[in-house]
Structure 1
Amino acid sequence: MKNKLFKENSKKIIETCDLLCKNTFIFNHKWDMEVCKIPYTFSEEIIWNKIPFEDPEWTFMLNRHKFWVYLAKAYALTSEEKYFDTFISQVNSWIDTVDVFKDEYFNCSRTIEIGIRCLNWIKAIKIFKNSSCNLNFIENKMIESLLYQCELLIKTYDDFRTLSNWGVMQNCGLISLALNYQEQHSILSQYLTIALERLEYQCKIQILPDGVHWEQSPMYHNEVLNCLLDIAFDFEKLNLDTPSFILSSIRKLAYSNAYMKKPNHNQPMQGDSDETDLRDIITRSAYILKDQNLKYFGYNFVDFESIWDIGDSNISKYEELPTKKPNFTSIALKESGNFYLRDSFEDNSNYLWFRCGALGSGHGHGEHLHFDLVSNGEDFISDPGRFTYVEGNKDREFLKSCFAHNTTIVDNLPFSKFNGAWGIVESALTLNTHHSFNTTFDFVEGGHLGYVSLESPVVTNRKILYLKNDLWIIIDEFLTEGAHEYSQIFNFYPDKKPTVDGLKAFIKGENSNLFMYWIDKNLNLNLKNSIFSTEYNKINSNFQLVSSIKSNKSKTLFTIISSKELSIQEASVLRGDGSFVPSYEAQAIEITLTPNNKIIVFNSMIDINNQKKSYLIDNILLYGKTGFIKKYNDTISFEIIKY
């Protein structure tokens, strides 16, 4: 695997750099924040403030200059002078053309771009110098330019940048410049002090206690982590002690990566995120921290992305680091409202991500009560991604909306409201979550108040019971005194096409299948064409399944999901005295796994009152709101999950 990855990545770098030598640009690196694989060529001089494809994000990517790092890598791999010559030519072109203090170059001059430029220019210089290139003249010119640009980074700092990933990037750029060149330029010692103080405060308020970046988008969470790792490697290579707050921040961000990582090693497409493999960034984190637990979630070897930072001479330090397997599977990141339910961390494992927390920044989507589902290592139900940031793009607006997420909807109205590509008009307030994880089952619950402003208010709540290893019960509650229409949305991975038959859906996979069941006879299932985007600027078609049902009172919807075909029927719920319990109060379902193995799952939406404190289900007297009964041959047991 190691040799294959190195060969593939080397080939990709060289192909990209061959295009760069012709002034043709594509942005295809796995950690590019806004990928664009459509080539764009400047026939003569590069116009650094050009906006192709009507997307300013392209211009931002152009002016971050990560491709200069690729040119340095291509030269290191091949020793071909054309890569060095192209680098010199493009550096001179940019410095001689762009003035970050002029309005016409605004799209080249945002503080986020300047910070990233600092990091990329210095990386490129180091790689070329390690390849014995003579950079004396161009290096001095680049550093003088960065000093000029960094006046903006010092002067332009406000509440937005303090809380945003932008501020982290601009301060990490300042720190890298100062660490590497403060001996030649005394002003940089002052810049270093300022940037470190700012960065420490940013890490304190931007990274939640559970390790998730507050903007709730793994793509930008990991851009923050990448920048912190860049300066941690600077400290190491200069034989300086890395500040403890940088190491602790790397640890928190890296561990939340480990927890969110899907069985295929990708980050979930939460908020504005692409489907990106997390192992290289976890590998670099494990190396910096010398962390055996983190190494389990990364690579066992130093991968192609990491070797440029770790260095050939330090490969053995990483590869000799023992790997420690975690003693848990599921985990609750409570402060951010992200819950990960699993049976193992293997490639063929089951994985469910449940989302019930604050929206975050403009990178957040309408995903309250959303879940992703991976069965036997295969993606079935998923967040459909982000596609683009172009203002006015209808696909962007849809993918950001509540109607593009695997959640519940009341009266076909959104519970959170957005305006255009970035605007947040109103975000539903989430309710307290509850979870319980053990070796036989996982349970998580959360709700929101996005519909309490309706004329007849509705409180929505979702409970997910995972009975290990291959049975998920989704319990959707709608508490109200009025009449409403309730819907559930399920977005399927592009290679999955559900077949709907009555109250059952069958989804064929490559290595396994998925079955979905409902029990309400008045429920309507509608299979629709929709859209799905695994990376920026890329869009696919997929299928979306929408259930809908009307009710005059509170309503509970059970959705049963399994990798095996089951028999499902409703079970009677009585009070302890044998009297009838209405369905708007409590319901139960009986799931037949095999003729001798049955499970009854029950759920109540209200506190039991009027001295009627117990339920009678299948002649078993119970007290509690949510739980299940297991009947195996002649053995009967039960578990109360929520009281």
Structure 2
Amino acid sequence: MEKTIPKRLKPMIELLPGSRSKDPIHAADNMIYSHTIKLPPHRAVKYESGIAWNGGESRSFQRLLHGHTFLGCLTEAYRQTGNPVYVTKGMDFIRDWIDQHPFGESRHLMAYHDETTALRLMYWIQFHLFSYQELSKEDKDCLEDAMQMTASLLSEDDFHSSGTNHGMFQDIALLAYAVSFLESHPQCRGWIPLAIRRLTRYFGSIFTTEGVHKEHSPSYHYEVAMNVKKLAVWLLELDPPSAKIFQSIYEKTERYGTAILLPDGSLPSIGDTAPQKIIGSLYEGVYETPMHRYAITAGREGELPTETDMVFPESGYAVFRDSWSKKEAGTYVLFSAAYHTSYHKHSDDLSIYVYSDGDILTEAGPNGYNYKDEYTQYAYSSAAHNTLLVDGKGLPRVDGKHSSVYMDSCQISQEASEAAGVNERYDGVRHERKVVYNKQENCLSIRDKMVSDEEHQYKLLWHLAPDLKVYAHDRIIECFRHNRKVAEIEFSSDISFITRTINGKERPEIQGWMFPEMESKRKAEVVELEVSGRTAECLTEIRLTSFRINRDKEPLLKEESHFKSTRDLNYTFVPAEDASLREQLIVVFSAINHPYRFTYNYMKTLDGIGANKLFILDDFGSQGAYYIGKNKDYSIETSVAALIHYIMAKHGILHKNVIMAGSSKGGFAALYFGIKYSAGAVIAGGPQSRLGTYLVDESKQTDIAEYIAGGSGNSDGLFLNRLMEAVLEQPADVSSAIHLYVGSKDDHFRNHVLPLYEVLKNKGFQASLKVEEEINHADLKVYFPFYLKQTISRILEIPFEGKMPPLIQSVVLKQEGDQLIVACEAKGEGLQYAFYVYKDDDPAEKFFYQEEPEFHYQAKQAGAYMIRVHVKNAEGQQLSRSSNRVIIDRVEEGEAAKT
């Protein structure tokens, strides 16, 4: 069939759209025999009694339907098989549409939408071209009249969408028609130069001088560049000067076309670009250089690109990478700071996209073009992008303030690259964002500054890829993919801030969604960072390696849950395993751990107790906030109390059946919440009672004090001390049964526990105190579990099995010449002893477990010696103590070899 096509029309065919299906014959057969039309990416639609051209489908579907895109499958099926049934069906559809859509009555419907009209004409031209021999004269006349009327409409200035890709498609369709019917219709001679003039004007204005398409959607950059390329080829004979201009424009577009690609060879889902791989798509052949081939094949083919970082200051794009050679595993950072046109514009000013061996920081993506759909409105809004909201509101999609968003500076180096942008579209608020990518550390730093003369609430939004498991700790967010940690996001600010995570929220506003394809939504995690004030600075650090919170030995708990309230909480709830204890609840609070090591306490200890168990994590700040709040706001306490009461209400648990427990910081929390909220019992090991005194004066943990109280001065210390004092002023007539446990050598015994116990007794609270001889605060982790389980068993009246851990009473190191003798006195059953020798504070030798409590060691060199004794019992419970120091001045010659 193609042999009959005139030579001058063959380049035009490359510009005409084809089948939208990978199997056009199957799709065409479905239209004929199953009365089904499938217009990817939309679902199949039945049309038993004829096509409902103006049915209830979405605007996006209507565009494809009225654009007669289904003709691509019917035309291709006929080309491959020669079966005229496909031509007949296509003509039936065309006639039906023409009969139902006279131009004068339908001009304002989707039937005569600017781009849709152009699309329909191109499919008609292709259908007419390849099925010409099968069409009857009546069919030809009907189709040609409709095409001529459509071409005439496209030539009208009032109908032309100047300065947009819709106008481009209109002009390509008009040009294709004019060239096809040049000999039949005299007006075509005028339409050819008209279309070329319009196209020249459009291409000359829609790309920046850096060769970047201005519509803020990478797929449209490829779409328009592809058409520029094809037109340059087509116009070589038709209009050589224009062909030369188009070729020059096309060549400048490749640098951005390569830069914008993700390491896996796909386009980022920004603007109206849906996620898609270039390989296998219509855009695969847009650029044919080896470096672009490398980019679209993720390094499987082609040559390594020479530019790692590419910045387009005028266009407002910066793309930073660690290395092209890492292929799909590489890191990619995209920063956008520009507003050039209204078409396909999202409210994504100063947004950021991050990929590192998979998407990390993404955007919602496009939902389609049905602007009445609330999810489409959300997809275009600031709320769907990694940007700023002011007073809970985003920017309008378009407002014409093109010069108010721009890239302010940029710098590229081998170690770190950076770019800064400004957004002044908000009335009275200036938003500055600086992005620095440190390649050596594989870490991204994003500094946001909001400046205004008035007070505002500022929200910075961070959209995380939907396949990530997100674990939020107040100001640090951990991100996992396939149980492997891939990113850690930490927030800080010069003023107080709070963070929250949102997933799949629908009311009162939509938040926490992304669109993997048009009109298909999926829940995704969004992190909000909120600050208030006139001017505020916030720092967001995205670490892709060298994490602050190391999870290698602490995998995520499968049973962990998240509670949304005034502050988000992480907790683990274990439902009752013993039916007789299903109305009992044990609440466990965590002690202080090393910075950013947030762990649950006493889970294994309570394994054998069949009551309901609630373990609440205190992962606020760097080491917790004693479950109280931030800057004296009590917001964490409110959430903790709400969580406990939620669990109680859900499982029908009375206050008298609640036991609150914990040691050290957890002991403080157990007392605070147990007394304040009338729990049945409290079990507290070595608790602090005067929090200000402990944090500011004793332990010097001022960062915790500053988090809770906003500072670490005298007034802040008084506020912290007052926390427990205020609780103890409550009536004691409904007192919890308070069980205090402490070691005789624990500094908290004299400073906190004994004074607290005396106050409790004086005020009439029901309290008991167990003092364990010879143990210190660090020993709580060994001895308190035994006491905790023993006490809970007694309260719940259930059998208790367990043995007291070994008790070390003394460790004494003596010297006899060059020989050291250490003797350990300890209590327990089946005890064994290990001895670790230290010289000048450094480990020297280790001697593993033996039954004898005395050990002799021959010093080999002069120095200061200390021996640490590890004692374990038959149950495997362990305790350690260090001896006193002994100084060996000299070692007799010959003695060093003896032991």
- TM-score normalised per structure 1: 0.71
Shift of 1:251: 3.2
CA distance in 2, matches of 1:459, 1:522: 20
Structure 2 equivalent of residue 340 of structure 1: 319
| Percent identity between the two aligned chains | 19
Q: In structure 2, what is the equivalent of residue 51 of structure 1? A: 55
For residues 59-111 of structure 1, the C-alpha deviation after alignment (integer angstroms, 9 at most, x for no partner) is 22212122211222334455655434422332343345543344377432233
Partners of 1:75 and 1:348 in 2: how far apart? 44
State the Cα distance separating 1:480 from its structure 2 match: 4.9
Alpha-carbon contact 1:330-1:437 (below 8 Å) kept = yes
Aligned ranges for residues 316-355 of structure 1 at < 5 Å?
A: 323-345=302-324, 346-355=327-336
Counterpart of 1:74 in structure 2 is 77
1:407 matches 2:400: no
In 2, the alpha carbon distance for the partners of 1:277 and 1:298 equals 8
Distance 1:46 1:550 in 2: 55
Match of 2:365 in 1: 385
* Structure 1 gap ranges (5+): 1-7, 29-34, 301-321, 569-590, 593-643
Contact 1:431 1:446 in 2 (8 A): yes
In structure 1, the residue matched to 2:342 is 361
| 1:196 CA drift (Å) | 0.7
2:412 to 427, 437, 440: 437
In structure 1, the residue corresponding to 2:287 is in which secondary structure? helix
Aligned to 1:65: 68
SS of 1:373 mapped into structure 2:
strand
- Residues 1:175 and 2:175 are matched in the alignment: yes
Q: Which amino acid aligns with 1:517?
A: E
Give the whole-Å Cα distance in 2 for the aligned partners of 1:175 and 1:382.
39
Q: Give the alignment of 1:205-284 within 5 angstroms.
A: 205-229=205-229, 231-232=231-232, 234-235=234-235, 243-279=243-279, 280-284=281-285
The equivalences for 1:571-586 within 5 A come to none
* Residue equivalent to 2:525: 543
- Work out the CA distance in 2 between the residues paired with 1:127 and 1:298: 33
Residue range with higher mean Cα deviation, 365-374 or 504-513: 504-513
Aligned counterpart, 1:374: 355
Q: Distance in 1 between matches of 2:46 and 2:226?
A: 29
Q: Which residue in 2 is equivalent to 1:38?
A: 43
Distance of aligned partners of 1:437 and 1:428 in 2 relative to their CA distance in 1, 3 Å threshold = same
Partner of 2:267: helix, strand, or coil?
Answer: coil
Larger displacement relative to structure 2 (100-109 or 164-173): 100-109
Deviations 1:357-401 (A, max 9, x none): 11631521111111011112x012111012133344322222222
SS of the aligned residue for 1:38 comes to: coil
5 Å-filtered alignment, 1:587-598, equals none
Alignment of 1:607-622 (within 5 A): none
Aligned mates of 1:238, 1:299 — CA distance in 2:
35
1:464 aligns with 2:435: yes
Could you tell me which residue of structure 2 aligns to residue 449 of structure 1?
424
Q: SS of 2:420's equivalent?
A: strand
What CA RMSD, in Å, does the superposition of the two structures yield over aligned residues? 3.5
One-letter amino acid matched to 1:43: E
Partner of 1:396: 376
Match status 1:478 vs 2:482 = no
Q: Do the aligned partners of residues 246 and 474 (structure 1) sit closer, same or farther apart at CA in structure 2, a change above 3 Å counting?
A: same
How far the C-alpha of 1:139 sits from its partner, in A, is 5.6
Unaligned runs of 5+ in 2: 1-18, 504-511, 550-594, 597-899
Number of residue pairs matched?
A: 516
Kept in 1, the 8 Å contact 2:226–2:283? The answer is no
- Sort the Cα spacing of 1:149 and 1:452 in 2 relative to 1 into closer, same or farther, 3 A: closer
Within 5 Å, give how 1:50-129 maps onto structure 2: 50-53=54-57, 55-77=58-80, 82-103=85-106, 106-125=109-128
CA displacement at 1:235 relative to structure 2: 4.8
Aligned partners of 1:431 and 1:449 also within 8 Å: no
Correspondent of 2:515 among 533, 536, 555: 533
Give the C-alpha shift of residue 528 in structure 1: 0.6
Cα 1:110–1:522, aligned 2, differ >3 Å: closer, same or farther? closer
Q: Which amino acid aligns with 1:40?
A: V
Moved more, 190-199 or 357-366: 357-366
Of 28, 34, 55 in structure 2, the residue corresponding to residue 17 of structure 1 is 28
Which residue pairs with 2:471 in the alignment?
499
- 1:46: Cα distance to partner? 2.9
CA distance in 2, matches of 1:484, 1:96: 57
Work out the CA distance in 1 between the residues paired with 2:354 and 2:538.
18
Provide the C-alpha distance between the structure 2 equivalents of 1:408 and 1:262, rounded to a whole number of angstroms.
24
Q: Match of 1:533, SS?
A: strand
Quote how far apart the aligned CAs of 1:323 are: 4.6
How far off its partner does 1:192 sit?
Answer: 0.5
Cα distance change, pair 411–91 in 1 and its aligned pair in 2 (3 A): closer
Q: Give secondary structure in 2 for the equivalent of 1:439.
A: coil
Matched, 1:559 2:532: no
Instruction: Say whether the 8 Å CA contact 1:283–1:299 is kept in structure 2.
Output: no
| Aligned counterpart, 2:728 | none
Q: Is 1:387–1:537's contact at 8 Å kept on the other side of the alignment?
A: yes
Return closer, same or farther for 1:565/1:9 CA change in 2, 3 Å cut-off.
Answer: farther
Partner of 1:446, secondary structure, is: strand
Q: Distance in 2 between matches of 1:229 and 1:93?
A: 36
Q: Map Cα deviations across residues 471-515 of structure 1 (whole Å, 9 max, x no partner).
A: 111111234566544332111122223101232111112476111
Distance (Å, rounded) in 1 between the aligned partners of 2:389 and 2:36 = 46
Q: Within 1, Cα distance between the matches of 2:92 and 2:284?
A: 34
Question: In the TM superposition, what is the alpha-carbon distance from 1:559 to its structure 2 partner?
Answer: 1.6
CA distance in 1, matches of 2:313, 2:339: 11
Secondary structure of the structure 2 residue equivalent to 1:52:
coil
Contact residue 428 and residue 448 of structure 1 kept, 8 A: no
Offset from partner CA, 1:93-146 (integer Å, 9 cap, x none): 3345543344377432233223222322333455668xxx64575566534421
Match of 1:311 in 2: none
> Which one-letter code corresponds to 1:540 in the other structure?
R
| Mapped contact 1:286–1:292 kept (Cα < 8 A) | no
CA contact (8 A) 1:69 1:121 kept: no
The answer to whether the 8 A contact 1:111-1:152 is kept is no
TM alignment of 1:623-638, pairs within 5 A: none
In structure 2, how many angstroms separate the alpha carbons of the residues matched to 1:339 and 1:365? 18
| Cα pair distance change 1:296/1:246, threshold 3 Å | farther
What SS does structure 2 have at the residue aligned with 1:264?
Answer: coil
AA matched with 1:121: W
Does residue 508 of structure 1 match 2:483?
Answer: no
Using the alignment, how far apart are the partners of 1:564 and 1:483 within structure 2? 37
Give how far 1:451 is off.
4.2
Residue 404 of structure 2 aligns to a residue in which SS?
coil
Q: Aligned partners of 1:136, 1:251: CA distance in 2, in Å?
A: 45
Would you say the 8 A contact 1:375–1:512 is kept in 2? Answer: no
Q: Report the residue type matching 1:541 in the other structure.
A: K
Give the direction of change, closer, same or farther, for the CA distance of 1:296–1:83 in structure 2 (3 Å limit).
farther
